[in-house]
Structure 1
Amino acid sequence: MGPKRLALLLAHFGTPRDALDSPRGEWRRAGLPEGVVQARPDAEKVAAITDWLAADATHHLVARGDPHFPAALDDLPDAPAALFVRGRLTALTEPQVAMVGSRTPTTGGRQNARAFARHLAGQGLVITSGLALGVDGEAHRGALEAEGITIAVLGSGIDRIYPPEHASLADEIVAGGGVILSEWLPGTEPRRGHFPRRNRLISGLASGVLVVEASVKSGSLITARLAGEQGRDVLAIPGSIHNPLARGCHRLIREGAKLVETGQDVLEELAPTLRRQLEATAAAMNPTATTATDEASEGATPARDPDQQRVLDLLGHDPQPADTLIEASGLTAGEVSSILLMLELAGDVSTLPGGLYVRTS
């Protein structure tokens, strides 16, 4: 069963357990085809899943309804029923920007992908991409260079890294606090049809999609189209009119994508979306706190959660690097980066050259 048939099943029964405990005739009445009604669990596949989960503490199976399942994916009409995840689960729900582009970029495209990812990851955004050769790989590496967090979405089983040249990069992503994820069963080989499907997860996880360099027939334009359909922001880096790998970006810009020239442009374009997302996350973690929107409407200073206030207090009135704040606060690098991003969006903090942060008041 794919996501749509699973959704049909769950809509009828409510929970997987209720579905499994019901007579198969009831599955037929739920509208499932006879081949699914008559199917039985594959013992070898079940064993492969349980073996993979038991192999390492970083291996997880996250089903819809689990607190760690990304809420951003719940709105997709074909959301996966579960994700196989390798790495730090909390990374899945942190603010993300997707970066996609050509598998054979120009030298400039590679440099742009790495530089933009390095800047955005340094500002606290998780960089989400597809682990492919070219732009994807450079985006992941740029995030790691900034000691930031990055997520790789596979078009194969979680234990089948593709391309194989990126096996060591996948290990670096997990070691750096990031995540490798897949909706496919362990042991699933990469197939051409899997990659367009995984693109909906890359765009769905993120607040926006940045297309670095792409031809007019690039699969990256599929990701951009899906992002638009999902209500995500679409951004593109322009290039030379003589570069065929810039034409996909130029087409997107003509169709309404935001033209960006710097990482700061990306942050400014995504700021409203990120602010809403971060405030919603803070409200979920502390439901008794007054929201920033409520207090702003009353003319009061927006409330901060305790971790935000702690970081702001530690910042003092002199410029500080993020490393100092991480050490003093006891929070993780990802948590501090996200807090600094939210404080910057709220106007409480500004960034200075050299990776320093300073209070604005």
Structure 2
Amino acid sequence: MSRHSAGKSGIALTEKQRIAWLRLIRSDNVGPATFRDLINNFGTAERALEMLPELSQRGGATRAIRIATKDEAERELEFCTKFGAVFVGIGEPHYPPALRQIDAAPPILAMKGNGATAIRPSIGIVGSRNASISGVKMATLLARDCGAAGYTITSGLARGIDTAAHNASLATGTMAAMAGGLDQPYPPENIGLLKAIWDGRGVAISEMPFGWEPRARDFPRRNRLIAGTSLGVAVIEAASRSGSLITARLAADFGRLVFAVPGSPMDPRCHGTNTLLKNGSIVTTEALDLLEALSPLSNIDLFAQPQVEEPAYEESETFHQPPGDVERSMVIDALGPTPVEVNDIIRHTQLSPSSVYLVMLELDIAGRLQRHPGGLVSLSFAD
């Protein structure tokens, strides 16, 4: 990764780079963390694409890796343009600045609407889908007042609290994080709300391909977008097992402030929020609670170094020599089903960090490595 600063203007991808980035992130076994490691090791997405078959083979893959074609990427880019959306890379001006600071941030986002809304300081507001009248009122008050104070209000376009938060901040600026492609909104009854977001001062973002229908496992990724784009997340009416608590946990992991609105202990919808309060979340009864706590954070330069950046000149690319069979075996033997820190693998094997990271990249591309929260890794034994 290049260490020079992108600056507030950002660094625009060329059309050639954008297509290569799309191909890379749409290829098998390439997630955000793997994408970052590939760019770090091979300099450009084009070079990384060339290396995928060799990496997969060295990692012990039992079948050929599927690599997204140039035609596929060009078709998706063409669909995106016709849809009135854009693909924004992590170092580009309209990429949400707080999101680029998290570990393994999405390298590229599909975005439709007012791009300026995406780069303002954001507050996430989430909660129950079957919200009470008082919960909806509280979401409306918080979103309206925080929006009037200059914050973008980010939520997940779900029923209940999310819908109330978006509606209350349409006039000031709201951001909808989506679990499926931008053309696959969920739930269907919020299609009208989504169009109002696009047509006004709002914006919608997704890391999923166009045409991707959201599945249950996609919603935690959507929650990660909410937590990552926000300086703080307010939770209103969350049950003990809910997506809102996932968002709150992710926000805490990212070093963001977590706010919770207290509720009746007799209401199951409030069990999760009350538990958050017991565990140290900030008691929230009005917008001022959020605004005062977030005020010092709003001056932080969020336009710092992006996590993934291609070097300006191909001559600056440096490629590590592939590790030998002995080194590869040492790393594989050190791994198991229990997640461990990469530094522990380096200490245990006494190999160079570059060798250990490259072996893990081979295993990752081959589908044999599992990544876990906190940067932990384990060996996958799935077929």
Do the two structures share a fold, i.e. TM-score over 0.5? yes
Q: Deviations over 1:113-158 (max 9, x none)?
A: 11211111111110000000111011000112xx110000000011
Q: Report the Cα distance in structure 2 between the residues aligned to 1:236 and 1:149, rounded to whole angstroms.
A: 22
Q: Deviations over 1:64-117 (max 9, x none)?
A: 222222232223223112100011222211010000000111111111111211
Q: Is structure 2 residue 44 aligned with structure 1 residue 18?
A: no
1:306 corresponds to which residue?
A: none
Given the alignment, which residue of 142, 145, 151 partners 1:119? 145
Q: Is structure 2 residue 72 aligned with structure 1 residue 55?
A: no
Q: Which runs of 4+ in 1 moved over 4 A?
A: 23-26, 42-45
Q: Deviations over 1:30-78 (max 9, x none)?
A: x76647963232577435412322215x410011222222232223223
CA RMSD of aligned residues (A): 2.2
Contact 1:214 1:248 in 2 (8 A): yes
Given the alignment, which residue of 87, 109, 127 partners 2:135? 109
1:174 corresponds to which residue?
A: 198
Partner SS for 2:211: coil
Unaligned ranges ≥5, structure 1: 283-361
Contact 1:48 1:186 in 2 (8 A): no
Q: Deviations over 1:131-186 (max 9, x none)?
A: 00111011000112xx1100000000111011111111011111112111100000
Instruction: Name the structure with the higher helix share.
Output: 1
Q: Percent of aligned positions with the same letter in both sequences?
A: 37
Partner SS for 1:116: helix
Q: Is structure 2 residue 219 aligned with structure 1 residue 192?
A: no
Q: Is structure 2 residue 159 aligned with structure 1 residue 133?
A: yes
Partner SS for 1:90: helix
Provide closer, same or farther for how the CA distance between residues 188 and 281 of structure 1 changes in structure 2, counting only shifts above 3 A: closer
Which has the higher mean CA deviation after the structures are superposed, 238-247 or 79-88?
Answer: 238-247
Partner SS for 1:86: strand
2:255 corresponds to which residue?
A: 231
Higher RCO by CA contacts (8 Å cutoff, separation 6 or greater)? 2
Contact 1:5 1:32 in 2 (8 A): no
Q: Deviations over 1:168-214 (max 9, x none)?
A: 10111111121111000000001000001111110110000000111
The number of residues matched between the two structures is: 275
Contact 1:24 1:37 in 2 (8 A): no
Q: Is structure 2 residue 40 aligned with structure 1 residue 27?
A: no
Unaligned ranges ≥5, structure 2: 1-29, 305-383
Contact 1:9 1:27 in 2 (8 A): no
Provide closer, same or farther for how the CA distance between residues 207 and 187 of structure 1 changes in structure 2, counting only shifts above 3 A: same
Provide closer, same or farther for how the CA distance between residues 117 and 51 of structure 1 changes in structure 2, counting only shifts above 3 A: same
1:255 corresponds to which residue?
A: 279
What is the TM-score of this pair, normalised by structure 1? 0.71
- 1:69-218 superposed matches below 5 A: 69-144=95-170, 147-218=171-242
What is the TM-score of this pair, normalised by structure 2? 0.67
Q: Report the Cα distance in structure 2 between the residues aligned to 1:94 and 1:23, rounded to whole angstroms.
A: 38
Q: Report the Cα distance in structure 1 between the residues aligned to 2:88 and 2:114, rounded to whole angstroms.
A: 12
